Amino acid sequence: MIPPVLVSAYAASPAHTHWDPQLEGALLEGLCALPGVVGLELPWLGELHPHDSAWLRANVPAGATLALTGLPCVMRRCGADAAYGIASADPDGRRAAIADLRAQADDARRLNDDGRARVAVIALHTAPQLTGSGDALADSLAEIAGWDWDGAELVVEHCDAAVPGQQHEKGFLPLADETDAVTRSGAPVGLWLNWGRSAIELRDPDAVTAQVRACADTGLLRGLAFSGAAAVDGPYGAAWVDAHLPLASADEASASLLDDRHVADAVAAAGPLAWAGLKVSRRPSDRTAGDVLRTVAANLAVVEAAFAQHPGARGA
C-alpha cells in the first residue's frame, strides 16, 4: 500500500490570502477524508495560523496526523536578517533560528495536548541563504534533537541550493552537505525531498530522479513530497518559482515538469518510505472547498497509481 500521505493544507488553501473559516474548515476535513491521506502539513509562521491560531487548534480534523513546516517563518526571517538560520556560522543568527524552533516545539506540544491531532513530523530547513555552514548545521541538529519533541520525528527538508549562473529560490545548503551534517551530528534526523524544489535546483526532471535515488541510498530518506515546477511562465507564476504546481496531468495549463512518468520514476528511485507528501496549489479557477478537493484528488490519484506500479516502494 501507499505510505501514509500528508497533504499540504497551506498550498491548497486560500486562507493565506482570503480568510474564510467555513471554507477552511470544510477543506481541512475534506483533505483528511481523501483515500490514503492520514493528515496535513501545516505551516508554522511564528504561530500556527496566519489569521487565527485558536481557530486552527479547535478545528484541526480529529484524528489527523500533522507535519509542521517552519519554512514560511524561515524565509521571512531570512529576508530581515541574512545571518538567520540553523546552518548559520554567525552565532546570533543561529541562536535566533534555534529560539524559533523552541517556540515551534511548544506549539507542537500544545496541538498534541489538545488531543484532536498528533504532530508526527517537524521539517527543518538549512538557512541562511547562500552562506550556510555544514559544521553549524551539525551542531544545531545535535542540540535540537536533544529536546523533547513529544514523539515527533525531525527531518531536514532539502530546498534548492544555490547554483552558479541561475537564480535561486531558497539557496540553502546542497543535499550532500545536509546529508553529511546529519551523519556527523549523530542525531536521529532524517531527510525529506520535495520534487519541485529539487527541480528548481537541478532544472532537469531526470536529474531529480537521480537525486532521489542518491538520497535513498544514504538510508536517511524518510519522505518524498510531490510538487511540481515549470521552466516557463504560466498561470501559477514565473518560471522556476516555488509555486507548488500541480502534476502535469492534473492541469495541463500549468506546464508542470512533474508528469506521470516522473512521479513513477521518483517512487521507484525512493524505495520504501515512511511518508509520502502531496503539496499542490489549487487551480486558479478553484473557488469552493469542493473545487479544491477535486484538484487535490486528481493529483493524489497519480501518486497512488505510481505506488501501485512499484510495490517495492511502498510504505517502510
pLDDT greater than 80 at residue 312: no
pLDDT at 16: 77
Region 166-178: mean pLDDT is: 97
C-alpha cell at position 47: 504561530
Return the number of other C-beta atoms located less than 10 Å from residue 95's C-beta: 14
Q: What is the pTM of this model?
A: 0.96
C-alpha cell at position 94: 543561529
pLDDT at 18: 86
Strands, E, within the chain: which ranges? 5-8, 37-43, 65-69, 118-124, 153-157, 189-194, 221-226, 275-278
pLDDT greater than 90 at residue 73: yes
pLDDT at 315: 55
Domain count of the fold of the chain = 1
CATH of the domain at 213: 3.20.20.150
Contact assessment for residue 137 and residue 87, using Cβ atoms and an 8 Å cutoff: yes
pLDDT greater than 60 at residue 314: no
The residues that bridge with 123 in the sheet, in sequence order, are 69, 155
SS (H, E, C) 14-43: CCCCCCCHHHHHHHHHHHHCCCCEEEEEEE
Residues of the domain holding 179: 5-313
191-224 in b/e form (b: 16+ CB < 10 A) is: bbbbbbbbbbbbbebeebbebbbebbeeebbbbb
Share of the chain above pLDDT 70, in %: 98
Region 23-38: mean pLDDT is: 96
The pLDDT tens digits of the residues spanning 235-287 come to 999 999 999 999 999 999 999 999 999 999 999 999 999 999 999 999 999 99
Give the CA dihedral 142, 144, 149, 154, nearest 10 degrees: -70
pLDDT at 62: 97
pLDDT at 17: 82
Share of the chain above pLDDT 90, in %: 95
